[in-house]
Amino acid sequence: MKKLKVSLGYNKYPDAAVDETTTAIVTAMTGNPAFPAPTVPLASPLTVPLVQSGAAEQPLSVMALQTAFRNALAAAANGGTQLTAAKNQARQALLDALDANALYVQSLARYDLAMLLSSGYQAASTNRAQTQLPAPAIVSLENELSTQLVVRLSPVANAYCYEVQIRTGANAWQSAGSFTAARKIILTGLIPGTVYTVQARAIGGSTGYSGWSDPSSHIAT
């Protein structure tokens, strides 16, 4: 019987997908009897003193690290090298916690794929050759409500979520977020009467993400 390994491919994910992945793992592992004592607690804080800074003790948990990462990510949206460095530091701290719990899951579920997947983590491919996910196809762009577009993608096997970008005219691409459901992605906050061009890529697999889909355009109402 082959030993299973937990995929650490999320380390290569875009920031929004790291956040999505963390939420999925916390949800799957919370109350999961197969994994009663994660190395890094999910929500119950483990108190550690910050000796070097002289600051008061603070809780360390996956959810606390995720919140710190979200806050740093929002702050970094305003630009600046210091804010970006702080975001990258918060991201790495969260990834380190996810990696620690990945090894914990692997130690308990190395022969049981269903058990491993119940943790919210993915199993690493047993094929040593890395294969890139195929790019999703945009099946349709639709209007359902004003200031919104509904994007429908063709699902990609082994994709964890999908990253979407939009632009108007010849302007630069802007991230519209990461989404777990391929068949109905809702883009909000659009300007009625404006033509938006959309493209998407799958996130997951052994290489982290696929190539971008062919772009498709539609007018927001």
DSSP per residue over 186-203, as a string?
A: EE-SPPTT-EEEEEEEEE
Could you state, in order of their start, the residue ranges of all structural domains in the chain? 9-117, 138-219
Would you say the C-alpha torsion 80, 85, 90, 96 has a positive or negative sign? positive
- Residue 78, pLDDT score: 80
Among candidate residues 145, 142, 140, 190, the one with its CA nearest the CA of residue 166 = 190
Question: How long is the chain?
Answer: 221
The strand ranges marked E within 42-102 are 46-50, 55-60
Rounded distance, CA 45 to CA 64, Å? 8
Rounded distance, CA 205 to CA 125, Å? 8
Rounded distance, CA 214 to CA 99, Å? 34
* 92: Cβ contacts below 8 Å, ≥ 6 apart: none
Rounded distance, CA 164 to CA 209, Å? 12
- Residue 80, pLDDT score: 83
**How crowded is the C-beta side of 6, counted as CA atoms within 13 Å?**
24
Among candidate residues 187, 181, 201, 199, the one with its CA nearest the CA of residue 143 = 187
Among candidate residues 122, 123, 190, 115, the one with its CA nearest the CA of residue 151 = 190
* Class at the top of the CATH hierarchy for domain 138-219: mainly beta
pLDDT in tens, the chain (221 residues): 688 999 898 898 888 889 989 998 999 999 999 999 999 999 955 444 444 444 444 558 999 999 999 999 999 988 789 999 999 999 999 999 999 999 999 999 999 999 999 999 988 876 555 567 899 999 999 998 999 999 999 988 878 889 999 999 999 999 998 888 899 999 999 999 999 999 999 987 666 788 999 999 999 99
- Count the neighbouring beta carbons within 10 Å of the beta carbon of residue 53: 7
Q: Which residues pair with 6 in a beta bridge?
A: 123
Q: Considering the entire predicted model, what is its pTM?
A: 0.69
- Residue 53, pLDDT score: 44
